[in-house]
A and B are shown apart, each in its own frame.
Chain A
Amino acid sequence: MTVGKPEGILDATNLEILWQRLITIMNEVDQMIVRTTFSTILSEGRDFACILMDKTGASLCQSVWSTATFSVVLPRTARKLLERFPIDTLAEGDVLATNDPWIGTGHLPDYCLLTPVFWEGAVIAFLGTVSHMSDVGGHPAEIEGYDVFSEGLWMPPFKLYEAGEENALAFEIIGRNCRVPDMLLGDLRAMAGATRVGAGRVREFLTDYGLEDIDGLATEILTRSENLMRRRIAELPDGVYEYGLDIDGYIDTVHLQVKVTIKGEEIDIDYSGSSPQTRKASINSVFNSTYAPSTYPFKSALAPDVPNNEGLFRPITVRAPEGSILNATYPVAVKARAKTINNVNQVLFGALWPVFGERVQASNGGIWPLVLLGDDPELGNFLVDMLPHGGRGGMPSLDGMIPVSYPENSTITPCEIIETKAPVRFRMKELRPDSGGPGRHRGGLGQVIVFESIGTDTIIFNLTPDRITTLPQGLNDGQPGRIGEVFINGEKVLRFPPIQLQPGDVVELHLAGGGGFGPVDERAAEQILHDLGMGYITPAGAREDYGFDPEAGERR
């Protein structure tokens, strides 16, 4: 099929064919990354994204598995990289990169890479990747931290490759400032290599369709997407919707406050009234990392059927007061900013449930990233991670989901993989009965994970738990989910510096459940009986949370 150079309007059918082909290219890049990376966080955890951008840096599509928020951020990063290295100075084989938190995704472990795609001597597009690296040096603490300088190596915008050659100094510095240089350098090379293959595929695409560039196609994608989003927003009733939510923070509780203004075909999100940034913990979010999880819920709710691209976000503005925990200023600590921003969708849904209808869910049990690292006589220098989740919030028409990844779409490293790479044995990983918030639609269950250190030496254990001091709230009179708890050898733990696990130590994680949606007394008796039968609630839970007599099979 030859469509010629798209000038003006591409018809919808051709557009869809071309667009899907581009997504397929990104899926191939994605697959190649999974198969060639060295670290579990990329190969098993899928904490990365690969994105196609036009020559201005606007995103056109991504691989279907790409982490949602990364895809929203990368175009912003790309433009900063192109400010530093203007497009007409680039050479074939260049790869631009940075892990600057204020330019990239908000913390140092995420490396953003940008590869220009050359066609007939000029840059016609960019392939970008964002990936969470296993280690970038810095203190081993996750939550505790005073400033960003403690958090590892900061690489300002630089060329990782120059005209196809590795930048020797950059590779050397990055490797020397990392505890697992083989993983980090291997992952960087895997990312760059995959985008190189992707660039070749984009050129094949241009050849197959007889295109000189993708400018017309990009305009079509971005404009159609923007128009669609504007129509969907216009369908919502105008108004100002507000919500406030207390979240764990660290040491001090943090308050998130939002005011969403829907006016015509535009949305304004304003976080005025949120807590100030803190020097007590690395839970501060830079603007980029607030922007992405703020816009993404709207994409999911209003345009779930359209491939992710930057046109969708044009009608939405995000504002957060400078110096607040959602627009933190250099050089505060930001390593665990996810602990704050993973809650942003809950604040937005709290504000918008009256108009979003089916498309919201109550608060959830959070993400509990855990990292185990150390030296082992048999396993060598190891570092593994897992991103287990609490239960998801109840929805207007459904119970909350069990612990699946949310709001990110990373996957959960299997226990078996971790056991092959670190000296630990998992004793339990199961659903946590009675942890889902009661309501017309019950919150999803949290989970219990128990593991034991079986090595011969100390292991460093880092955990960033959530919802251990504040409840996952329900919506529309639904009840909160059960709070999370952490025990080591039976002792409750509330502070999370790097923990030194000794051989034989047993760690118990009780992840919180999601909040319920709707009043408890509206939950049907057969659903309560079903939950009892499945073991989602216990007889005691049925009595206390639902006023339900399990023996009689009815409400008392």
Chain B
Amino acid sequence: MNEAKDPGQQGTGAASAAGGQGAGAARRPGQGQAGGAGGWDGSGIDPVTLDIVWQRLITIMDEVDLMIVRTTFSTILSEGRDFACILLDETGASLCQSVLSTPNFSVALPRTARKLIERFPVDTLREGDVLATNDPWIGTGHLPDYLMVTPVFHEGRVVAFLGTVSHMSDVGGHPNEIEGYDVFSEGLRMTPFKLYEAGQENSLAFEIIGRNCRVPDLLLGDLRAMAGAVKIGSRRFREFLGDYGLSGIRGLSEEILGRSERLMRRRITELPDGVYEFGLDIDGYIETVHLQVAVTIAGDSLTIDYDGTSPQTRRAAINAPYSSTYCTSMYPIKCALAPDVPNNEGLFRPITVKAPAGSILNADFPAPVKARAKTTNNLNQVIFGALW
């Protein structure tokens, strides 16, 4: 069996160790409220203050969310709400999201953010830059989803990122949904690029995106709406830093991620150890697809392994890149074990997802992926089948 060859996934183990250490750091309660201690980054914050601060961040994301709803042009965003807005720390880990954000997107974005930062390192970024991509293998698994990551600057350095994921009305390509032979037929693929450079629209990118779209006004309008809403979000975030006298959120982030991770590990520990298996036949297209899972609960960690699942297909666009399998696998566990905690990446650290390379749940480039949801929407059923 092959573990997915995905740097983001391999990073999971390392990150969890770091998070665990950070959790035990010494702290002085009440320092946050004092506000006068220059250079405080939220580390060692007490639980009551943490919750107040965390809710404030969620409220900022809700404002961004509402602004997107009010300024986007397409019904899929304004009415269908097929988007997410997420706050990430300076390493790309998610801390919270707007309450109405699409859950899968929130799981995907931190992984995407780290790829974007790999391409455009943090110390090369400038205020007003907006990084973006719709690459299925870097993003959410199909071309219509544009992911945008905006650095938030404070005192001359990047202290956080605001991210959005949104399903666009059209990105060109053939009009089929399920039928398809490869990803090249499915529309314009924008590998990591700068949508804005120091506040200026990247005119070539805008022109290409618009030209390769049936409804350029909707798509370009939506991209601008996303970027604009995030700009307001950045301002609110800096106000937040000022109100609490924070120089950054590194410590706060470690608190959020560490506490969430520890909670998830406790909840997993409460479950009986064992290997739980389930197989399910789903529609696929032309040929039935089999999904097979083995969930291993061992102490405080949980591994989901899709070995035995059908191979990827050239006959239909129902293949899922690893990132979309990862998201849709993670979320049922989050809902079942930690429904009371705001969505953040710490919750996912104890969980590993494996799918054989070349399977329909870890499809290789350039397989067609447009309708990957037809496959991944069934993952929660397989997981619940194994774990009920």
Chain A residues close to B by CB (< 8 Å): 100, 135, 137-140, 146-147, 149-150, 152-156, 158, 167, 169-170, 172-173, 176-179, 331, 458, 460, 498
Contacts and interface: CB of A to CB of B under 8 A. Distances in A.
16 contacts: A100-B211, A140-B181, A146-B175, A147-B175, A149-B173, A149-B212, A149-B213, A152-B184, A153-B208, A154-B212, A155-B211, A172-B193, A173-B189, A173-B208, A176-B190, A179-B184
Interface in B174-205: 174-175, 181-182, 184-185, 187-191, 193, 202, 204-205
Nearest to A149: B172
A176 B204 contact: no
Contact of A150 (B173, B190, B202): B173
A177 B189 contact: yes
Interface centre among B172, B175, B181, B211 (most CB of A within 10 A): B172
Given A139-B174, A158-B207, A460-B181, A147 B214 contact: yes
A169 B207 CA distance: 12
A169 B205 contact: yes
Contact of B208 (A156, A331, A458, A460): A156
Contacts of B184: 135, 137-138, 152, 177-179
Given A173-B191, A173-B208, A149 B185 contact: no
A28 B202 CA distance: 37
A374 to B, nearest CB: 10
B191 A149 contact: no
Given A135-B184, A176-B190, A179-B184, 7 more contacts: A100-B211, A138-B184, A149-B173, A149-B187, A156-B208, A167-B204, A177-B189
A100 B202 CA distance: 20
Contacts of A331: 214
B274 interface: no
Interface centre among B185, B189, B190 (most CB of A within 10 A): B185
A135 B366 CA distance: 14
Interface string B6-41: 000000000000000000000000000000000000
B314 interface: yes
Interface centre among A146, A158, A172, A177 (most CB of B within 10 A): A177
Contact of A149 (B189, B202, B205, B214): B214
A170 B204 contact: yes
A100 B211 CA distance: 9
Contact of B175 (A150, A169, A172): A150
Contacts of A146: 175
A177 B190 CA distance: 8
Nearest to B192: A172
A176 B189 contact: yes
Contacts of B172: 149-150, 154
A312 B76 CA distance: 54
B54 to A, nearest CB: 38
Contacts of A147: 175, 214
Nearest to B190: A173
B174 A154 contact: no
Contacts of A173: 188-191, 193, 208
